Amino acid sequence: MSNILLRGCRGVVTWSPDGDYKVLTNVDILIENGKIRSVEKSGDISVSERECTVIDCRDKIVIPGLVNAHTHSPMVLLRGYCDDLELHEWLQRMWEVERHLDENIVEKASELAIMEMISTGTTAFIDMYFYPHVTAEVAKRFGIRAALGPPFIDVILSPDKVARDLEHFCKVYSEDELIMPIVNVHSIYTCAIDTLKLARDIARENNLLIHIHVSETRKEVFECKQRHGKFPVELLAELGLLSNRTHMVHLGWVTSREIELIRENNATVAHCPVSNMKLATAGFFPFYEMAQQGVNVTLGTDGAASNNCLDMFREMKTAVLLQRNNYWDTRIKAMHVLKAATLGGYKLLRLNGGAIEPGKLADLVLLDADSIYIQPLRVDNLVSNIVYAATGRDVAMTIINGKVVYDRDRDYTRFKERVTELSRYLNQFISKFYGVTF
């Protein structure tokens, strides 16, 4: 693995021991063997240019890599499909198409999604979709980290088959540097209690993360309470599905007692503001209460079918705005969502990343400091402009595991040409369900 020296970084955003952000200026970052070896004032790192690749960063802002903590990456296939439906009707329309998927379609859609993610600064993603081995291979090819596995979803797949597929998936990827096998459970309303218990047992036996949609709508909460006499998080706790391996997504309709259960069991949560608003699930993700109680909060885009983009910068801004709209105050700030998208995501994945300091994984995003969209830029407004003004289009380079996986100067035109090819292919498939294509 080649070493990299990021020379003369105009600005670096990372985290201090007390949890606040800090901005470093005019520094060098030395990357060796996939990790950050040192961060020093520019010129203080003594290294021969023959020993490493030197990247001039005088016009770059460096931030930790962004983790998309919840998505369905191949659903980029369905971007713009049935955009104006509410969740449960929308799901039925999605499933109508998804029953016809094959590995080839998922491969092409995964490639399109991953190109979008790495070109907009995502360095790792947590995925829930069919044919995960296909998405995993595409992720490896592009060099992005991915946590994924076959989904338990009784309305489409036999739980016994999912269990067998997951066992095989774990054997293939258990030692992989970039791929993390996880137990995906769609929800309590698409899986029988026996299926939930099966997923629990597999996660326990293999020490795997459980990734599940929870309390996304009033309908889900009402039916759970009516059928089981408990709220969704309470049901998961009763079934033994709530632990430090549990990653729950959405949580727009949770009680104070459920937040306590989440904290007591050291579970992780994901906020997906754009998708929740677009599907009109309403409710309120209690970001502040979760964070104040020490719950690890992460951020996700959800799939491109319910968000329409996989840009984590846009998601960060929307998260702050939605929280302020719901709280009627400014208690949630730019730093909170940036931390959720970086440190929170790496903590979820149990990886030593999300910050820029020696020993951390070299998963980094380089932003164009001269971008017209984030000016005027200063030390005191840097984090604000990253969250409120920047988008993924301001990403100049993405580094994962010490490797440059996207360089806008080198890759943008090539990506664009490939995306055109992929779109033609995917449109031929989706037109059978949707209508005329361009």
Which stretches within 255-333 are classed as H helix? Answer: 256-264, 273-278, 287-292, 312-327
* Selection from 351, 397, 400, 436 nearest residue 142 by Cα: 400
Supply 30's token pair: 């030395």
Phi, psi of 35 (to 5 degrees): -130, 160
Q: Does residue 368 form part of some domain?
A: yes
Average pLDDT, the chain: 96
Quick: pLDDT tens for 7-35: 999 999 999 988 899 999 999 999 999 99
Q: Does residue 323 form part of some domain?
A: yes
How far apart CA 243 and CA 267 sit, in angstroms, is 5
Scan for tokens 């309303």, then name that residue.
Answer: 189
Domain shared by 113 and 177, yes or no: yes
pLDDT higher than threshold 90 for residue 434: no
Domain shared by 218 and 76, yes or no: yes
Domain shared by 186 and 330, yes or no: yes
Listed residues 283, 316, 348: the one ending a domain? 348
How far apart CA 36 and CA 358 sit, in angstroms, is 5
Q: How confident is the model at residue 438 (pLDDT cuts 50, 70, 90)?
A: very low
Quick: pLDDT tens for 276-314: 999 999 899 999 999 999 999 999 999 999 999 999 999
Domain shared by 175 and 152, yes or no: yes
Q: Does residue 150 form part of some domain?
A: yes
Quick: pLDDT tens for 325-362: 999 999 999 999 999 999 999 999 999 999 999 999 99
Q: How confident is the model at residue 158 (pLDDT cuts 50, 70, 90)?
A: very high
Domain shared by 229 and 301, yes or no: yes
Quick: pLDDT tens for 376-417: 999 999 999 999 999 999 999 999 999 999 999 999 999 999
Q: Does residue 243 form part of some domain?
A: yes
CB atoms within 10 A of CB 363: 31
Domain shared by 97 and 158, yes or no: yes
Quick: pLDDT tens for 95-136: 999 999 999 999 999 999 999 999 999 999 999 999 999 999
Domain shared by 283 and 215, yes or no: yes
How far apart CA 174 and CA 257 sit, in angstroms, is 36
Supply 185's token pair: 């459970």
Q: Does residue 434 form part of some domain?
A: no
pLDDT at 149: 98
Domain shared by 142 and 18, yes or no: no
pLDDT at 433: 84
pLDDT higher than threshold 60 for residue 436: no
CA-based radius of gyration for the chain: 21
Q: Does residue 437 form part of some domain?
A: no
Q: Does residue 408 form part of some domain?
A: no
Q: How confident is the model at residue 51 (pLDDT cuts 50, 70, 90)?
A: confident
Domain shared by 153 and 32, yes or no: no
Q: Does residue 191 form part of some domain?
A: yes
Domain shared by 338 and 374, yes or no: no
CB atoms within 10 A of CB 106: 23
Quick: pLDDT tens for 222-256: 999 999 999 999 999 999 999 999 999 999 999 99
pTM, two decimals, is 0.97
Domain shared by 149 and 295, yes or no: yes
Domain shared by 387 and 313, yes or no: no
Residue 263 neighbours by CB under 8 Å, 6+ apart: 293, 294, 295
Q: Which domain holds residue 87?
A: 66-348
Q: How confident is the model at residue 435 (pLDDT cuts 50, 70, 90)?
A: low
pLDDT at 43: 87
Phi, psi of 368 (to 5 degrees): -75, 105
Give CA separation, 111 vs 327, 411, 428, in Å: 38, 14, 16
For the chain, how many structural domains are there in total?
A: 2
Q: Which CATH number belongs to the domain containing residue 44 in this structure? A: 2.30.40.10
Q: Which CATH number belongs to the domain containing residue 144 in this structure? A: 3.20.20.140
